[in-house]
Amino acid sequence: MGVVGLGAMGGGIAQLCVEAGIETVGREVSLELAEKGRDRIAHFLTRKVEKGQLGQDARDAAVGRLTLTADLGDLADCDLVIEAIVEALEPKQELFRELERVCRPDAVLATNTSALSVTEIASATTSPERVVGMHFFNPAPLMPLVEIVRTELSADEAVNAAFALGERIGKHPIRCHDTPGFVVNRVLIPVLNDCIRVLDEARVTVEDLDAGMKHGVGWPMGPCELIDLIGVDVHVHASEALWEKLREPRMAAPPRLVAMANAGLLGRKSGRGFYRYDG
Protein backbone atom coordinates (compact mmCIF):
# COMPACT_ATOMS: atom_id res chain seq x y z
CA MET A 1 0.00 0.00 0.00
CA GLY A 2 0.99 3.58 -0.56
CA VAL A 3 -0.54 6.61 1.16
CA VAL A 4 0.33 10.08 -0.12
CA GLY A 5 -0.21 12.67 2.59
CA LEU A 6 0.00 11.75 6.28
CA GLY A 7 -2.21 14.48 7.71
CA ALA A 8 -5.44 13.84 9.59
CA MET A 9 -7.01 11.72 6.85
CA GLY A 10 -3.94 10.13 5.31
CA GLY A 11 -2.47 9.30 8.72
CA GLY A 12 -5.72 7.61 9.71
CA ILE A 13 -5.79 5.59 6.50
CA ALA A 14 -2.17 4.54 6.95
CA GLN A 15 -2.94 3.51 10.54
CA LEU A 16 -5.77 1.29 9.32
CA CYS A 17 -3.48 -0.36 6.77
CA VAL A 18 -0.61 -1.14 9.14
CA GLU A 19 -3.03 -2.43 11.79
CA ALA A 20 -4.46 -4.77 9.16
CA GLY A 21 -0.99 -6.23 8.52
CA ILE A 22 -0.32 -4.37 5.27
CA GLU A 23 3.16 -3.09 4.50
CA THR A 24 2.56 0.61 3.89
CA VAL A 25 4.66 3.38 2.37
CA GLY A 26 3.72 6.82 3.66
CA ARG A 27 4.84 9.75 1.54
CA GLU A 28 4.97 13.39 2.61
CA VAL A 29 6.58 16.41 1.01
CA SER A 30 9.37 16.22 3.60
CA LEU A 31 10.70 13.54 5.90
CA GLU A 32 10.05 15.86 8.85
CA LEU A 33 6.33 15.96 8.05
CA ALA A 34 6.33 12.21 7.43
CA GLU A 35 7.87 11.61 10.85
CA LYS A 36 5.22 13.82 12.47
CA GLY A 37 2.58 11.73 10.75
CA ARG A 38 4.16 8.51 12.00
CA ASP A 39 4.38 9.93 15.53
CA ARG A 40 0.64 10.67 15.49
CA ILE A 41 -0.09 7.14 14.31
CA ALA A 42 2.18 5.70 17.02
CA HIS A 43 0.43 7.87 19.62
CA PHE A 44 -3.04 6.65 18.62
CA LEU A 45 -1.88 3.03 18.62
CA THR A 46 -0.35 3.52 22.07
CA ARG A 47 -3.72 4.84 23.26
CA LYS A 48 -5.30 1.61 22.03
CA VAL A 49 -2.75 -0.38 24.06
CA GLU A 50 -3.57 1.66 27.16
CA LYS A 51 -7.27 0.95 26.64
CA GLY A 52 -6.64 -2.77 26.26
CA GLN A 53 -7.73 -2.75 22.61
CA LEU A 54 -4.32 -3.73 21.21
CA GLY A 55 -1.32 -5.67 22.49
CA GLN A 56 2.05 -3.94 22.84
CA ASP A 57 3.71 -6.38 20.41
CA ALA A 58 0.94 -5.83 17.85
CA ARG A 59 1.31 -2.08 18.25
CA ASP A 60 5.07 -2.22 17.69
CA ALA A 61 4.65 -4.50 14.68
CA ALA A 62 2.08 -2.15 13.16
CA VAL A 63 4.34 0.89 13.51
CA GLY A 64 7.15 -1.17 11.98
CA ARG A 65 5.06 -1.80 8.86
CA LEU A 66 5.05 1.93 8.01
CA THR A 67 7.91 3.09 5.79
CA LEU A 68 8.38 6.84 5.38
CA THR A 69 9.54 8.69 2.29
CA ALA A 70 9.55 12.07 0.61
CA ASP A 71 10.17 10.48 -2.79
CA LEU A 72 7.18 9.42 -4.90
CA GLY A 73 9.45 6.93 -6.61
CA ASP A 74 9.37 4.80 -3.47
CA LEU A 75 5.73 3.97 -4.31
CA ALA A 76 6.85 2.09 -7.42
CA ASP A 77 6.10 -1.38 -6.02
CA CYS A 78 2.74 -0.59 -4.39
CA ASP A 79 -0.36 -2.51 -5.48
CA LEU A 80 -2.67 0.37 -4.55
CA VAL A 81 -1.94 4.01 -3.70
CA ILE A 82 -4.38 6.29 -1.89
CA GLU A 83 -4.00 10.05 -2.26
CA ALA A 84 -4.95 12.18 0.76
CA ILE A 85 -3.43 15.57 0.04
CA VAL A 86 -4.98 19.06 0.00
CA GLU A 87 -8.60 19.16 -1.25
CA ALA A 88 -7.90 21.08 -4.47
CA LEU A 89 -8.18 19.83 -8.04
CA GLU A 90 -4.92 21.02 -9.61
CA PRO A 91 -2.55 19.59 -6.96
CA LYS A 92 -4.41 16.27 -7.11
CA GLN A 93 -4.21 16.15 -10.90
CA GLU A 94 -0.49 16.93 -10.81
CA LEU A 95 0.04 14.18 -8.23
CA PHE A 96 -1.86 11.62 -10.29
CA ARG A 97 0.24 12.46 -13.35
CA GLU A 98 3.33 11.71 -11.26
CA LEU A 99 1.82 8.55 -9.74
CA GLU A 100 1.02 7.23 -13.19
CA ARG A 101 4.65 7.77 -14.15
CA VAL A 102 6.23 6.07 -11.13
CA CYS A 103 3.75 3.30 -10.24
CA ARG A 104 3.37 -0.10 -11.88
CA PRO A 105 0.91 -0.15 -14.81
CA ASP A 106 -1.38 -2.51 -12.87
CA ALA A 107 -1.38 -0.46 -9.66
CA VAL A 108 -4.72 1.02 -8.62
CA LEU A 109 -4.68 4.76 -7.94
CA ALA A 110 -7.31 6.00 -5.49
CA THR A 111 -8.29 9.46 -4.27
CA ASN A 112 -9.79 10.20 -0.87
CA THR A 113 -11.50 13.36 -2.12
CA SER A 114 -14.79 14.17 -0.41
CA ALA A 115 -16.19 16.76 -2.81
CA LEU A 116 -14.14 16.90 -6.01
CA SER A 117 -14.84 14.93 -9.17
CA VAL A 118 -12.91 11.65 -9.32
CA THR A 119 -13.40 11.77 -13.10
CA GLU A 120 -11.66 15.16 -13.32
CA ILE A 121 -8.79 13.91 -11.18
CA ALA A 122 -8.46 10.80 -13.36
CA SER A 123 -8.50 12.91 -16.53
CA ALA A 124 -4.96 14.03 -15.74
CA THR A 125 -3.75 10.47 -16.47
CA THR A 126 -3.55 8.44 -19.65
CA SER A 127 -4.89 5.37 -17.80
CA PRO A 128 -8.11 6.59 -16.11
CA GLU A 129 -9.40 3.02 -15.96
CA ARG A 130 -7.23 2.38 -12.90
CA VAL A 131 -8.41 5.47 -10.97
CA VAL A 132 -11.18 5.19 -8.36
CA GLY A 133 -12.38 7.10 -5.34
CA MET A 134 -11.97 5.75 -1.80
CA HIS A 135 -13.72 8.32 0.37
CA PHE A 136 -13.02 7.66 4.04
CA PHE A 137 -14.79 9.59 6.77
CA ASN A 138 -13.06 11.50 9.55
CA PRO A 139 -11.65 10.13 11.79
CA ALA A 140 -10.81 7.27 9.46
CA PRO A 141 -9.82 4.74 12.17
CA LEU A 142 -13.21 5.15 13.89
CA MET A 143 -15.77 5.78 11.13
CA PRO A 144 -16.90 2.46 9.59
CA LEU A 145 -17.84 3.70 6.11
CA VAL A 146 -15.77 4.07 2.95
CA GLU A 147 -17.38 5.06 -0.35
CA ILE A 148 -15.88 3.27 -3.36
CA VAL A 149 -16.42 5.67 -6.25
CA ARG A 150 -16.49 4.50 -9.87
CA THR A 151 -16.03 6.86 -12.80
CA GLU A 152 -17.38 6.08 -16.26
CA LEU A 153 -13.90 4.82 -17.19
CA SER A 154 -12.97 2.92 -14.01
CA ALA A 155 -12.20 -0.75 -14.67
CA ASP A 156 -14.05 -3.40 -12.69
CA GLU A 157 -10.70 -4.72 -11.46
CA ALA A 158 -9.80 -1.35 -9.93
CA VAL A 159 -13.19 -0.94 -8.24
CA ASN A 160 -13.08 -4.49 -6.90
CA ALA A 161 -9.54 -4.05 -5.58
CA ALA A 162 -10.52 -0.89 -3.72
CA PHE A 163 -13.63 -2.60 -2.31
CA ALA A 164 -11.57 -5.59 -1.16
CA LEU A 165 -9.06 -3.29 0.54
CA GLY A 166 -11.90 -1.54 2.36
CA GLU A 167 -13.11 -4.88 3.70
CA ARG A 168 -9.60 -6.03 4.63
CA ILE A 169 -8.97 -2.97 6.81
CA GLY A 170 -12.26 -3.49 8.62
CA LYS A 171 -14.47 -0.93 6.91
CA HIS A 172 -17.97 -1.19 5.47
CA PRO A 173 -17.45 -0.23 1.80
CA ILE A 174 -20.34 0.84 -0.43
CA ARG A 175 -20.19 1.28 -4.21
CA CYS A 176 -21.41 4.38 -6.02
CA HIS A 177 -20.80 6.34 -9.21
CA ASP A 178 -18.96 9.64 -9.48
CA THR A 179 -21.58 12.29 -8.80
CA PRO A 180 -21.16 15.51 -6.76
CA GLY A 181 -20.96 14.62 -3.08
CA PHE A 182 -21.17 10.88 -3.81
CA VAL A 183 -23.75 9.42 -1.38
CA VAL A 184 -23.34 10.67 2.18
CA ASN A 185 -22.26 14.26 1.54
CA ARG A 186 -24.88 14.67 -1.19
CA VAL A 187 -27.48 14.02 1.51
CA LEU A 188 -25.73 15.37 4.61
CA ILE A 189 -24.41 18.73 3.45
CA PRO A 190 -27.75 20.26 2.39
CA VAL A 191 -29.41 18.85 5.52
CA LEU A 192 -26.79 20.46 7.77
CA ASN A 193 -27.13 23.73 5.85
CA ASP A 194 -30.89 23.58 6.37
CA CYS A 195 -30.33 23.06 10.09
CA ILE A 196 -28.19 26.21 10.34
CA ARG A 197 -30.77 28.23 8.41
CA VAL A 198 -33.45 27.02 10.82
CA LEU A 199 -31.17 28.02 13.70
CA ASP A 200 -31.53 31.65 12.59
CA GLU A 201 -35.07 31.59 11.20
CA ALA A 202 -36.67 29.83 14.19
CA ARG A 203 -34.54 31.79 16.66
CA VAL A 204 -33.79 28.56 18.48
CA THR A 205 -30.66 28.21 20.57
CA VAL A 206 -27.77 26.05 19.43
CA GLU A 207 -28.39 23.70 22.35
CA ASP A 208 -32.10 23.37 21.61
CA LEU A 209 -31.54 22.75 17.90
CA ASP A 210 -29.11 19.96 18.74
CA ALA A 211 -31.51 18.56 21.33
CA GLY A 212 -34.36 18.68 18.82
CA MET A 213 -32.48 16.62 16.23
CA LYS A 214 -31.18 14.16 18.82
CA HIS A 215 -34.42 13.57 20.69
CA GLY A 216 -36.90 14.23 17.88
CA VAL A 217 -35.14 12.47 15.01
CA GLY A 218 -32.77 10.11 16.78
CA TRP A 219 -29.50 11.63 15.60
CA PRO A 220 -26.60 10.51 17.82
CA MET A 221 -25.14 14.02 17.61
CA GLY A 222 -26.77 17.39 16.97
CA PRO A 223 -26.05 19.29 13.73
CA CYS A 224 -24.06 22.05 15.45
CA GLU A 225 -22.01 19.48 17.38
CA LEU A 226 -21.42 17.61 14.13
CA ILE A 227 -20.27 20.67 12.19
CA ASP A 228 -17.92 21.54 15.07
CA LEU A 229 -16.50 18.02 14.83
CA ILE A 230 -16.16 18.09 11.03
CA GLY A 231 -14.68 21.58 11.07
CA VAL A 232 -16.66 24.65 10.02
CA ASP A 233 -14.11 25.45 7.31
CA VAL A 234 -14.21 21.89 5.97
CA HIS A 235 -18.01 21.98 5.79
CA VAL A 236 -18.02 25.38 4.06
CA HIS A 237 -15.43 24.15 1.54
CA ALA A 238 -17.49 21.05 0.74
CA SER A 239 -20.67 23.13 0.47
CA GLU A 240 -19.01 25.50 -1.98
CA ALA A 241 -17.76 22.60 -4.09
CA LEU A 242 -21.26 21.11 -4.32
CA TRP A 243 -22.83 24.50 -5.01
CA GLU A 244 -20.38 25.05 -7.85
CA LYS A 245 -21.33 21.72 -9.43
CA LEU A 246 -25.08 21.63 -8.80
CA ARG A 247 -26.23 25.24 -8.31
CA GLU A 248 -28.87 24.05 -5.87
CA PRO A 249 -29.59 26.74 -3.22
CA ARG A 250 -29.52 24.23 -0.38
CA MET A 251 -25.91 23.40 -1.22
CA ALA A 252 -24.66 26.95 -0.61
CA ALA A 253 -23.12 27.47 2.82
CA PRO A 254 -25.29 29.72 5.03
CA PRO A 255 -23.75 33.16 5.70
CA ARG A 256 -23.46 32.31 9.40
CA LEU A 257 -21.10 29.42 8.63
CA VAL A 258 -19.05 31.48 6.17
CA ALA A 259 -18.65 34.21 8.79
CA MET A 260 -17.58 31.67 11.41
CA ALA A 261 -15.00 30.18 9.05
CA ASN A 262 -13.62 33.63 8.23
CA ALA A 263 -13.37 34.43 11.94
CA GLY A 264 -11.44 31.24 12.69
CA LEU A 265 -14.30 29.73 14.70
CA LEU A 266 -13.70 26.30 13.21
CA GLY A 267 -15.09 24.03 15.94
CA ARG A 268 -13.19 21.51 18.02
CA LYS A 269 -9.87 21.96 16.24
CA SER A 270 -9.74 25.69 17.04
CA GLY A 271 -11.28 25.41 20.50
CA ARG A 272 -14.42 27.31 19.57
CA GLY A 273 -17.22 26.97 17.03
CA PHE A 274 -20.86 26.74 18.00
CA TYR A 275 -19.52 25.53 21.36
CA ARG A 276 -16.35 26.15 23.34
CA TYR A 277 -13.86 23.33 23.88
CA ASP A 278 -11.20 23.07 26.53
CA GLY A 279 -7.95 21.25 25.79
**Residues annotated as catalytic (active site), given as ranges:** 114, 135, 147, 185
Give 259's Cβ-side CA count (13 Å radius). 5
End-to-end CA distance of the chain: 34
Residue 77: partners with Cβ closer than 8 Å, 6 or more residues away: 104
- Written as one string, the DSSP assignment of 102-155 is HS-TT-EEEE--SSS-HHHHHTTSS-GGGEEEEEE-SSTTT--EEEEEE-TT--
CA distance 101 to 146: 27
Provide the Cα torsion 240, 243, 245, 247; round to 10°: -160
CA distance 144 to 171: 5
